[in-house]
Structures are given as C-alpha cells and as structure tokens.
Structure 1
C-alpha cells in the first residue's frame, strides 16, 4: 500500500486558491482587452480569435513546468438578443461577416484554468461607435445595465451562508447562523423585484453552478426564473467555488432556440469507443487541449486546418461523449445583459476570484430606482469581513444608497480571503 497522501484540491490547500487566482487574473486581464475591441463594425469572429490568442499568451507566462493549463472557456461575443455564449466559425461566410452594431449590449465571456481550477468571467459591453468617446447612457439601455448590476449585487449577497458575517455576542451569532438560507424560489422572487424596478425581466433559467476541479457544472446549481421542468439543487457553503450568473432582458425574459449551428461544445464524462479513426483523433485533440472545459469548433478548425474534425464532432455528439451548447436568444429579440462572476465562499465571506469590472454608476442615468426595503437592506450588507486596517482608504458609497439614488459611486468590492 502506498504511503502517499492524496492531493488536497479543496480551498483548504493554499495552492488551490493561488491557482484559481492566477487563472482569474488572466481572465480579467483578457476580458478588459477584449472589451476594448468591441466597437461598431468589428467582426465578432475576429474579436473571438484575438481573445483566444491573448489567453494563450498570458497562460504561457505562468506555471512553465508540467502544470496543465488552458482555457476554461473560449472567447465568446454574444450579440444584443443572444442569451448563450456565441463563438462563430471563420469558415462559415455568413457567421464570419457578423459585425457589431453601435449601441448594442454584447456579452463577452471567457476564462482560463490552471491545473483544472478554472475562472470564467462575463461582462456586458455597450458597443461604441468608432472614434467616439463614451457618453452618459440613458433610457432603456441604462435601465437594462443598472437592473443587471443591482440584481447581480443582490445575488452575490444571497450566496453568503446565513450568519457568516454576523457580529455581536456568541448568542447573537448563533441565532443568525440558525436562520435558514433563502430558497431558490425566494431568490428568484427578490431578483424579480429588482428587475421589475427597472421595467425589465429575469432571463429564464439563468443558472449558477458550483465549480470543481476540471468541472464547471458541479452537483449544485441555482436556477433563477426556472423554465418548466427545471430546478436548482443545493445551497452555497463555505469552501465552495461558484460561477454566479445573472441575466436580465428588456423583453419578457423568455427564450427560444436560435436557428444557427451550435459551435460551443465540451467533453462529457461518458466513455464510448468511437468507430471512425477521424472521430477518435478529434476526441483525442479535444481531450488533450481542452479536457472537460468548453471549446469552440473554431478552435478545432485552427488546430486541424481541415474539415475532417466535423465528422468526428458529429459522431462524438451522437454517442454522447461530446455535448453541444445550443444557441438560445430572447424570445422577443429584445436586448439582454449578462454578468458572470467566479467566487469562493470562505470563513470570511465572499471572495471574488474572477469578476467583470466594477460598473461606473455615474455613467448611467435612469428615472427608475429600487424602493423595496428588504432588498435595499440586503444590498447594504458587505460581501466579506473587512480586515483592512488602513485609515486612509476612501469610504465608498453602500449599494443601498447608490440604488436609491440611481447613480453616483460604485460600492465596495471585496477581495478578502
């Protein structure tokens, strides 16, 4: 019997958190760079290609030994009404010519992984006209962005286990910890009130997953505004990493399939010996380069240089060893905004491992605001215990006050372990 201990891949191992943070740093850096590429007239496929190249370049700078590293999600740029990540093919003339339109909210999603510890981030970027500075955003676009921002801030706080950040006597802390976590029905109800405050709607079946090593869809999930036949499972706990997603629509929030080929796939845990040599070669390429993380057919095009991989993908999907993500959009073709944050739940609260950049609330003006006192009270709560001893740190406006005002400064962002 071997005396070797099994490697601890939990957050109790500092090395695990370090790898998550390195992956998150890459994800956030590339997200910022790709967001700047989102200007009117730019082709979506070109932006995706540049984003993937940047991820590879950044990965090459870290962990230069035998540590496995790569994509946790390819670069995707989803047009205004698209709900799911979109990654077009360079070989498809129609898809390759899709250009961004000025003013549309596009969703940029991507991620990196180190040793199977992945960080995925998504931000909604308003496409700017070429050679034009940003103006203050008003009207329905401002409503959409603000609704998504505050709904996301609320959801992050609802992820905190009850009593984790409570203060006072031991009796008061125990009482706070004894409170049951909000049900998924309650979570949807509270988030729906935020969306309705801005005359928007939650995107149907927006799902947050617990992340595990080499797995971005673990056993636990939170499903917001679930469609018929879908439901969440489990509650967030200390020691877990989650990919927390928020989706808001200017339409009904209901979704429909988009009549376009699915180009985003991932390797499943199913095993099956594929019959054709081409299929086996394709599966081997997927396994070696992407593991069980999502990848784009475009990446296989660039890897293989021919179209034989398509046969392999078809057989892989048919036999269940590959899963394809169908394209879904807003049923009313209305603009949709999405955010995705990778976070860790520690004894000190929420630690953002990878997140979209903080929203500059001064650039968005709306005549609508949140008035529900229960929601405003939750928004006022911190994400983690404040361990900073600096007295010179600028005091930032609480989310509650910002939500009431509908503008001004951004609230504090915690990065506390």
Structure 2
C-alpha cells in the first residue's frame, strides 16, 4: 500500500492561506469591537475577559464539525500607556485586577485566533475615549506618537518585500531589480529611526518581528529593531513566508525595564523536563490540551490560583516560557502595532492588520522630509488586482479594458482568491 503524501503546510497549499485568512478575519473583527470598549474608567481585566469570550464565540462559528484544531493564538491583552508588552491581569491579584484606563491614554490591544495551527495576531494602539469627549481631533504629542508608529509600520512592511518582487518593465529591468540587495536589519533600523525622529520619537528597543509557522509564532527567522544588549536578528523575508510584524515607538527614549507586575502571559516550549510536583504536571497537561504552543493567560486556566502555583516549576524547568511585563524606563507613552502578513509572488498581503488611522483627525506640526524614506513609502505592497473577467466566454463582446486600479492598502483581501489560485 502506497504511503500517504505528507501534508503541504506552506502557502503553496491554498487551504493554508484560507485558514490564515479565516483566523485573520476573526482577529480583526474582535479588534474592532474591543477598541470600542476602551473608554475612560474601563477595567483592563474586564475588557480582557470579554475579549477572550468574543474570540471563542467567533472561532466556534467556523470549521464546524471538522477535525481541525482551532482556538486563540493570543489572548486579549490591554496594555496601558507606558506598558510595552502585552498585559493581562488576573482575577486573583486584587490590585492589578482594579487597573482602569485613563482618558486619552494610548492603549495597546493585542489578540489573535488560530485555525489548524495557523495563527493570525493583530495589535492596534487606540486612545482611551474620555467620557466627556466627542469625536475630537488628536493633537500634540499623542498625534506625533500615532503618526510615527503608523508610518514606521508602513515603511517596515515595504522594506520586507524581497528585491524586485514587484518590478515591472523589460526583462532586463526586472532582472536588474531582482539583483539588488535586500535591506539588512541594520539598514532597516537606521531608516526607521530616522523616520520616527521626524516626530521627535524613538523606536522601542528590541522590538521583534517573527517568522510564523504552523503551531509556532516564533519561527526560525526574526528581525530585531533597535537591538540592545547584544540582541541579533536572523534571516530575511522570502516569498512563501508568513510574518508577525511588530512596530514599537515611544515619545521617550525607547528604553524598557521590567515592571513589578506579575508575569501572567506564558507559552509552551519544545523543551521536555520531568516535572516533580503533581500540581505542575496537572498545569502542563491543561496547557498542552487547551493552548498547544500558543500564548495563554493564567486566568484562562480552569483554576487560576492552582495555575499560579503549578506554573512555577514549569517555567523553572523551561517547558513553559514566561513573558515579563515591560514598560518604558522614563514613563513616556508607547505605541505598538502588530500585523500578520503573507509574502506571495504577487507581493505582500496584510492578513490581520490594525486599521489605518483617520489622518484628517490626527494633527501634528511635524512631518517626514527624508527623500529616501518618502520614496519607499510611495511603493505599492502588492501588484494591482486583475480587472479581467474570469469567464472570458461570457459577455465577450461587452468586455472592455479596465482602467488601471490604484493599489490601496485595503485591497489585500480582494486579491485573496487570485493569490490562492496562483500559489
């Protein structure tokens, strides 16, 4: 009897891209709803709890009756103004459970869903709406931070495109474009730092973008922005990759420190270790069953208090990774974005992405003036979608050549079917 062919988990398999996109749609829908909950006086814990419930409900609606693992790839986390990393307090920690949002502070919302191990994580920074305010314009340093974070993210995405991928012109011109060197990680950081300094801001040190793989949001390749303490990235984006692209910007120095908050976000590692305590083994068993290798919060365990005890040996033995809570050293506000992207032969697709800010309502007296940066920002992320009718036999006489379509950032979803076919 012939052996079964191994399952193709690359983007060459259209089903893989479909699963990524399904997870991404759930993540973005949840992000939109949760953004509306971030108002002055709202409790961070309650938003996180409601956010997880929303994710679970939406995930339950897809791939019903199929033997496909699905769940949360990143629990709902709500990080106040000066927090750098995702934050999700516990019910049993009374002081932190009482943390509330302050009016107009930049709040980082991060969450994600996964279908069959293909995770899509998204993060946006939104100002906590003041009870007395209407839909007023964002000005001053808040505007500087929002614009610096947005444009730095857009610049980074364009620098992640492999050289010549979208080249047009003669065959010789395309060959020349493909022969160009990709941006090195040091060059990427250099240009990003120059951009954010236009708004009198700085990159958050050690902001890391990871290659996404099946059941793994920290793959073999990573890009580290503004690296410190000997940190070093590894590898560059290629066609067929899925990446989690993170951007962190501060109105201060960008330096970070470990806060006194309890580390509540964890993730199973590939390390094996003989746990001695029954409580530790029970906790690890629940983690493996519920979350696999995706991040989770201790408050998602059946017994939060027992989990707080059981997780200690798991972390000490290296079978579970603990995410420390980091914040800015100078107490300055931090903006953070996270975009899950796919790189196909047609360009870069934003699978799960924060919405673009309404630039008409963000007023800053600062702007980008560097010509090299402005030139990169003008580049498209993907090839324009084809306007040709799919069935050429029908309406052959009435078919006319469509005008060129301007490539917008929001076109990514429209190109999905074509990309799936091509891949």
**TM-score (norm: length of structure 1):** 0.94
Residue 229 of structure 1 aligns with which residue?
A: 230
Tell me what 1:378 maps to.
376
1:241-390 aligned at under 5 Å gives the runs 241-300=242-301, 303-304=302-303, 307-389=305-387
The answer as to 2:57 corresponding to 1:57 is yes
1:337 partner SS: strand
Alignment coverage as a number of residue pairs = 401
Q: After superposition, give the CA deviation of every residue in 1:283-333 in whole Å (9 maximum; x if it has no partner).
A: 111001100000001111xx22x5222221011011110110011111111
Distance 1:57 1:238, change over 3 A: same
1:40 correspondence with 2:37 = no
- SS of equivalent to 1:414: helix
2:4 paired residue number: 4
Contact 1:341 1:352 in 2 (8 A): yes
**Residue ranges of structure 2 left out of the alignment (5+ in a row):** 389-401
- 1:208-266 per-position Cα deviation (integer Å, ceiling 9, x unaligned): 00000000000100000001210111010000000001010000001111111100000
Question: Do the aligned partners of 1:203 and 1:247 also contact (CA within 8 Å) in 2?
Answer: yes
Q: Matches of 1:336 and 1:327 in 2, distance apart?
A: 14
Q: 2:395 matched to which residue of 1?
A: none
Write the distance in 2 (CA, Å) between the matches of 1:414 and 1:290. Answer: 29
Give unpaired runs (5+ residues) of structure 1.
399-410
Measured after TM superposition, the shift of residue 38 of structure 1 is 0.1
Query: 1:73: which partner in 2?
Result: 74
Correspondence for 1:100: 101
CA distance in 2, matches of 1:121, 1:363: 23
Structure 1 pair 328/175, CA: closer, same or farther in 2 (3 Å)? same
Judging changes above 3 Å, is the alpha-carbon distance between structure 1 residues 297 and 237 closer, same or farther for their aligned structure 2 residues?
same
Q: Which residue of 2 aligns with 1:125?
A: 126
Please give the alpha-carbon distance, in whole angstroms, between the structure 2 residues aligned to 1:413 and 1:361. Answer: 19
Give the Cα–Cα distance (whole angstroms) in 1 for the partners of residues 54 and 110 of structure 2: 14
The alignment yields a C-alpha RMSD, in angstroms, of 1.5
Is the contact between residue 101 and residue 128 of structure 2 (CA under 8 Å) also seen in structure 1? yes
CA contact (8 A) 1:383 1:414 kept: no
Give the Cα separation in 1 of the matches to 2:260 and 2:94. 16
